[in-house]
Chain A
Amino acid sequence: MGSARLGSGQWGLKVHHSVSISGGAASAARAGLLVRLVRIACGIVIGCALNGFVPREAAAQVPFVLFQPARQMEAAKPLARDVTGAPAISQRLDGTAFFVDDLGHMLTARHAVADCGRIVVSKEGRSVAARVVALAATDIALIKVPRTLGLAAVFPRASASAANDMVFAEAYDRLKPMLAHGGALGNAFVDATQRDPEHLVLRSNVTFGTSGAPVLDSRGLVEGVVSRRTTIDRVLAVDAAHAKSFLSAHGVRFQEDDRPQMSGTASRAHRAASISARVTCLQQ
């Protein structure tokens, strides 16, 4: 069925294209010019919107602008991926978790593992069942697998993240293609314009599946745990101080250090891949 629809769609495009050409060179040129003008207008508006500025004139003229403020003001969204299958299949929520010791304890987002019938941690082709050890008041949770599947993360003794510091946070499932292209030093920035007592605010475009991912600073230390998106490019992460306090309260012996855990040029994406895994919540 799927391939049949795709096939008909391709034929439809081809027929439309041939009609435009047969209409003559002048009409084709007019159509091309019109398409270019629309593209330019869209480009200007989208570009301005991404920079947080939309000219009033452009807003009045281009209908797409009306949608941009709505996207900017969307409600805070948890970043766990909702993968709902056929009605017979349980609802499935994919997030990210990372190891905090060598015993199999992992931190993730609370909303990624709360109210699950079953929790599965998957990494490098292996999947193991996990259990919830504790849920925090903030959006973090402690889960445990029978044994570790990766390197344990290291937290800073004192958080040193400052405005515009480059950090790295990404969904486990998105790391593999990133590594294939050589990795990354960072993909987000610390945003100091918005104050939050227990969160690290990031300028980031990470999306679903990133809930629970570690926020790695330039030293390879975990500065936070990704929680949710508040606007199109703002993400909240529970800060390292709260995460450490939560781990200590539950007797987890995590590593702390203020010294760099990676060389300056090493890919943070690779370190993220070493310490994190996909966490899947299967709901009835």
Chain B
Amino acid sequence: MLSRRPVACCCGQPLSRTILILRGTLVLSFGLFILSTATGHAQDLNFRNPEQAPPSWAQFAKLVKYRFEEWIAADEAVANRFRNWVVEHSGKENGPPPTLVVRAWLNPDGTVERVAFPAFNDAGATEDLRTILKRGNVGEAPPPEMLQPLNLRFSLNLRKP
């Protein structure tokens, strides 16, 4: 939906934990865009896909993707609760979608200012994920010229080991 010319540039590795294995794949793009109702195609409006973006943007996006995966896979209360919810409701009508598109805005100090993603049917799970993704500092400042938000598409495949 967000990236019309998706590039699977960063295939995530399994993040082993005692209970779950998280498999994440990522498609990324940068900046805002609008959908043309006439053609059904994305029109670029301050928007770049990875092929057009400078490598420094892609490297930073990889870092954000890595941090998000780490935070989701962390062994702490909120992340454990969110992963349990995903596993318990995966494939069900009120469960999580197969892919999750996250838009992230980052501050110059590397903290996550804001994240946006389609709400789940469970308000608690939505809030948990928001808490997880805003919890830390990615470790580097975003390139000053990088378009924001960062559009990250995760394909979450949580399963028991």
A151 lies within 8 A of B62 (CB): yes
B118 contacts chain A at the CB level, 8 A cutoff: no
Q: What 0/1 pattern do residues 82 to 99 of B give for CB contact below 8 A with A? A: 000000000000000000
A260 lies within 8 A of B55 (CB): yes
Q: A220-B56, A257-B55, A260-B56 are in contact. Are A147 and B13 (CB under 8 A)?
A: yes
Query: Number of contacting residues on A, CB 8 A?
Result: 24
CA–CA, A274 to B142, complex, Å?
Answer: 13
Q: How large is the interface on B (under 10, 10 to 19, 20 to 34, 35 or more residues)?
A: 20 to 34
Residues in B whose Cβ lies below 8 Å from that of A270 = 110, 139-141
Q: A103-B13, A147-B15 are in contact. Are A262 and B56 (CB under 8 A)?
A: yes
Residues in A whose Cβ lies below 8 Å from that of B59 = 151, 154, 220, 261-262
A63 contacts chain B at the CB level, 8 A cutoff: no
Chain B residue with the shortest CB-CB distance to A258: B55
CA–CA, A141 to B31, complex, Å?
Answer: 40
Q: A257-B55, A259-B55 are in contact. Are A266 and B66 (CB under 8 A)?
A: no
Chain B residue with the shortest CB-CB distance to A99: B66
A271 contacts chain B at the CB level, 8 A cutoff: yes
A82 contacts chain B at the CB level, 8 A cutoff: no
A151 lies within 8 A of B66 (CB): yes
CA–CA, A220 to B143, complex, Å?
Answer: 13
Residues of A249-266 at the interface with B, using a CB-CB cut-off of 8 Å, are 257, 259-263, 265-266
Residues in B whose Cβ lies below 8 Å from that of A147 = 13-16
* Distance (whole angstroms) from the CB of B40 to the closest CB of chain A: 33
Interface residues of B (CB under 8 A from A): 10-16, 54-56, 59, 62-63, 66, 110, 139-141, 143-145
Please name the 8 residue pairs, one residue from A and one from B, whose CB atoms are nearest each other, closest first.
Answer: A263-B143, A270-B140, A259-B55, A261-B59, A151-B63, A274-B139, A262-B56, A261-B55
Taking A260-B56, A263-B145, A266-B143 as known contacts, 17 extra A-B pairs with beta carbons closer than 8 A to each other, sorted by chain A number, are: A102-B11, A104-B13, A147-B14, A147-B16, A151-B66, A154-B55, A154-B59, A257-B55, A259-B54, A260-B54, A260-B55, A261-B55, A263-B56, A265-B144, A270-B139, A271-B140, A274-B139
